[in-house]
Structure 1
Amino acid sequence: MRRRPEKNELRTHVIKIDGYSQIKELLQTGEYTTSIPFSVGGHSWAMRYYPNGCRERAGYLSVFLVLDSADAKDVKAKVSFGLLDMDGVTSPTYSGTFEYIFQNKGSSYGFTKLIKHKDLEGSVHLRGDSVRIRCDVTIVTKIRSEETKGIQYVKVPPSKLHQNLGGLLESMDGADVTFQVGGQKFPAHRYVLAARSSVFNAELFGAMKEKIGGSMKIDDMESDVFESLLHFIYTDSLPVVETVMAGHLLVAADRLKLMCEEKLCNHIDAKMVATTLALAEQHSCHGLKEACFDFLSSPSNLKAMKASDGYEHLKNSCPSVLKELIARLLPVELKAVKDIIMSI
């Protein structure tokens, strides 16, 4: 299939917020002021400025791009936002880029946490009580593709699942579990977490389900780090983060895995041990695997495990761990038999 080059149109728009302090006092969290409309790619656009953050993002400055054309539909745009310093240079720390399909008039997307108030105030980005924000918008128009045997008249639109789940993360409609992290509360959806993470699946729907209830507390983790983890779970992408934050995310992910592993070790039962053992094997959770083996050293627990719903899954997905379990349970004097089993 031959494909013609993409036609890109780039337009830069800068808004200047004079009277930053006064506007911050006048508008509450979730309230915004809108820029003068500007045109890109034959469509009208505007920037929304939230001096006290959108939704529950108090303490931050939020900025969004909104599609303002009545007849527009499914407009794909690559958007960059960035704070400008006194010399008009975009800050690499307080800037970011995303791609989004704006479905119709009023569709918007942006950064809920562009910069904290305490980081902005007194910085080079606030001069004379004035803030300038730059927005680069690139509209990508794909010229229809041509195949060797004719023209492709039907084009399947790209999936919007990640955008839909991202919207669910923002609105939190129907949330049924709350995480308490660093003094903040993060509502979430059990089934989304369970579908995206086998660890969350075991924790939220396994033996600990009744003890967890509707709330979970996670200690020794920064709230913004956990928020980035949630963003990844819902959208399969990382938010725009600094290099230091990326390192924190790596540490947090490893720590969260160990915390979940510890909890699962303390809540092993006959109904869930097969599923938990498969989970431990698939995700290299060595401590959890040992805890399962210890639990199954009891003949009654072993028998109950074989009658559980997860046993067939364990046999099919992790046959090697069953061989290791059998070898562990054989008496020491049958070393030769153990060697034969492990070599199969």
Structure 2
Amino acid sequence: MEDDRLTILCTVEVLREEEEDSGIAEDMQKLLFLSSESKSTRPACMLPDVTFVVEQAEIQAHRLVLAMRSPVFAAELLGDMREGTTRHIMVDDMSASTFRAMLRFIYTDKLNIKRKASDVALRSQRGCKEKRAARRRVDMALDLLVAADRYDLEKLRLMCDKILSESIDVDSVTPTLMVVHGRLSCRQLEASCIDYLASDDDLYANVKAMEEYKELEESCWSFTADVMDKVAKRKLAANDSSLGANTSRRRPEKKSVSTYNISEVVRGTYEMRIPNFDSMRRSYSVKQTIFSDIFQIGGYDWKLKVSVKEKTISVFAKLLTDPGTAGLRAALFMRMDDPGGKLRPIVRRFKPIFSRKATTWGYSNFMGAEGTKSPYQYLAHDGSLTIRCNFLVSAISSCIKDTTLAPPPNIMCHLEKLLVSEKGSDVTFLFEKREIHAHSLIIAIRSPALYMVVVAANKEEDIVPINDMKAAVFKAMLHFIYTDELPPLEDIALAAGDGVMTTAGDMLAAACRFKLDRMKDKCETLFGQSVSKQNASSMLKLARHHHCVKLKDYCLKFE
């Protein structure tokens, strides 16, 4: 007690998983380089089984991966179309460099044409070399936008859309408008280009004075007439709403309402609306993960992550801005209301400290599967679901109402769907007359040790008997191989019909047996969440047996 103040110091030690990139993209990328290796050094299932001829270049790929990522490729390569029966497919409407970049995205979810720092600087201050480099990136993004539209790669389309939206200038606005003109999926990008042209009369005059635009006026007058009409309407709308007084030469960014407050703690609200949430019923057994747009509260950038599987919803808030060495103290209130007012709202409260090593906090069971309520009972009349998050942070608070769905599921979600659907499976694991189907290609690239077990089994029937492992443990391991994620330990134990400690030992044994180091690391973190004074001794023995250093050190704190 000092100065009439009582101070209570509470130290909480938590074993938590530090954020890291998934190993799936790295493993899948290895498949892209197999064509340069000797065939005798790789498993037969990893051999490319389709070749695309693009600009006389032969580009090899794997039908299973392409079909998993693109419904168009699935119809072409696994359906009744002619491409499904031939190993060589001609592609005559795309450059080889664009096709390779698209393949890299399909295999890794990565796009290597990000904006450089020079693109952010004033265009007038850039040198010729930087301008040419920026134009090449815009051209590649435009080509990939067309490719994404053709093969129905929605996430790639949104990534290209973002790059192009951030790169709009005098040089790029005309070619961008030419590509997006008439494409329903690119209406927002087209609107951004029109906003840019309508923002300044001198700027629009400079664009029309360019040779590229003049050639279009002669060769495609209907296009330029349509652009002029839209620009005129945009100016009229701006004048009517008194928004044209202080227009910017750059495309206006997404607006938010900010309130400056001199107090140390201020409030901010973010609403994440997920359109067509009801459509997730079609993939009810597969975890769906959706990310919000980036938004700003308290002067910091944030993003929400919502995952849905069966009746369970998890909601996490991720801090994108560096919180510094001291971290950022915040209070979060997450709420989901019944639009009809019949059900009680679901509210979760917590007060985390965001740091460089702990940037993500939330609830894995925002709506738990054990309850009688379903997330589908909280849908609006249009099938959407809204989750409201209130923040208490320091600095500036913002209130943004989100209506935009972030990029679609990533490669891990597609792999999980592939595992659940069993489409294209070519290997069967047998557990006491129970069959589990999988794909030898995925197993070979993700777990070579397990693939050796497959190879050693009966090759004629493609059936692999597993006699010394519980089916629930093997399914959890297979789920990790496909997704880089593990189900909750209690769920695995319940499915296996064993206790938590027994299941924990079986999971670690499986990870060690099949040399899955990342799975072993995740097991340590997962099991650490179940450590208590009652089981610390048993868990410590388990950690020592399997050489789990982090788990061992954490268990020692309970002695």
Q: Same fold (TM over 0.5)?
A: no
More helix by share: 2
Length-normalised TM-score, structure 2 = 0.25
Length-normalised TM-score, structure 1 = 0.38
